[in-house]
Homo-oligomer: A and B are copies of this chain.
Amino acid sequence: MNKLTIIKIGGNVLDNPSLLQSVLDSFAAMEGNKILIHGGGKIANVLMKELGIEPKMVDGRRITDEKTLEIVTQVYAGLINKNLVSQLQARGCNAIGLTGADANTIPAVKRPVKTIDYGFVGDIDTSKINANTISGLLKQGLVPVFAPITHDTKGNLLNTNADTIASSVAIALAGMYSVKLIYCFEKNGVLSNPDDDTTVIPEITEKTFVGYKEQGVIHSGMIPKLDNAYAALKAGVASIVICGPEAFKSANAIPGTTIVL
């Protein structure tokens, strides 16, 4: 099976120009099939503030009303996505920027309202992802760069978690490629001591994950990231690594944390 590398870069990497340049250098230099997936960063909040719009949060999660959807569409699919594409093109990487609406690559459904109405937020059914279309772009020698926006196939765009897009696309393509999924964020991996960047845990199995959670070593935002990772491994993704931008710099660099079943 052909290999495919999917790299997700988070907001903290996007917001740091020197980290970002180093990741783009490495990504552009990588051989073979590859896909970049990016999060949002702080720029959307900055624009909202400039426009006098207060971000709506419930239990620490963003509510995407109509005006917020307009702004994240502008910033994620326009400003960030197209700048990443042009910067990759400048490095000789034939990037093509996409949302899940483009070529209907990632259809989603608006999150059903239970106790909280999250607004225009998309949930992905992995089986609906158009793997053949994405594979067709890869076969044309193109490098898809996904913004964290999907659509409901009825004319509405949907704000969608970039980690979820990354694991969902990885799962959808696992039947056609041997997929390596890399989550690149600001730390060098999952740390046993969050204040010490040298305490990268080299490997986390599903069993040790339970222990780390109980000890409180792994908590808050890292838990859903790892839950997503285990779901992806069980669905056929070949390997998953959580690492920092350093991991791309040289063969001797800190390789990050490998997630294994």
A residues neighboring B (CB under 8 Å): 50-51, 70, 73-79, 81-83, 85-87, 89-90, 94-99, 101-104, 133, 136-137, 140, 142, 149, 151, 153-157
- Residues in B neighbouring A97, C-beta threshold 8 A: 98-99, 101-102
Q: How many monomers of this chain does the complex have?
A: 2
A77 to chain B, nearest CB (A): 4
Q: How far is the CA of A155 from the CA of B83 in the complex (A)?
A: 7
With A97-B102, A99-B85 as known contacts, state yes or no: A90 contacts B154, CB within 8 Å: yes
Q: How far is the CA of A78 from the CA of B40 in the complex (A)?
A: 13
- Residues in B neighbouring A87, C-beta threshold 8 A: 155
- Whether A79 and B70, one on each chain, are in contact in the complex, defined by CB atoms closer than 8 angstroms, is yes
Q: How far is the CA of A96 from the CA of B149 in the complex (A)?
A: 14
With A77-B78, A95-B102, A103-B96 as known contacts, state yes or no: A86 contacts B50, CB within 8 Å: no
8 Å CB contact of A155 from B89, B142, B155: B89
- Whether B85 and A74, one on each chain, are in contact in the complex, defined by CB atoms closer than 8 angstroms, is no
- Whether B79 and A73, one on each chain, are in contact in the complex, defined by CB atoms closer than 8 angstroms, is yes
A89 to chain B, nearest CB (A): 5
Q: How far is the CA of A112 from the CA of B102 in the complex (A)?
A: 34
- Whether B140 and A89, one on each chain, are in contact in the complex, defined by CB atoms closer than 8 angstroms, is no
A73 to chain B, nearest CB (A): 5
- Residues in B neighbouring A86, C-beta threshold 8 A: 101, 151, 155-157
A20 to chain B, nearest CB (A): 12
A22 to chain B, nearest CB (A): 15
- Whether B89 and A79, one on each chain, are in contact in the complex, defined by CB atoms closer than 8 angstroms, is no
- Residues in B neighbouring A50, C-beta threshold 8 A: 51
- Residues in B neighbouring A137, C-beta threshold 8 A: 140
Assuming A73-B83, A74-B75, what are 11 further A-B pairs, CB within 8 angstroms?
A73-B78, A73-B82, A75-B78, A78-B78, A78-B82, A83-B157, A85-B102, A89-B151, A94-B103, A95-B102, A133-B142
Q: Could you list 28 A-B pairs, sorted by A, with CB under 8 Å? A: A50-B51, A73-B79, A74-B78, A74-B79, A76-B78, A77-B78, A77-B81, A78-B81, A78-B82, A82-B157, A85-B99, A85-B102, A85-B151, A86-B156, A87-B155, A89-B104, A90-B154, A94-B103, A94-B104, A95-B102, A95-B103, A96-B98, A97-B98, A103-B140, A103-B142, A133-B142, A136-B140, A137-B140
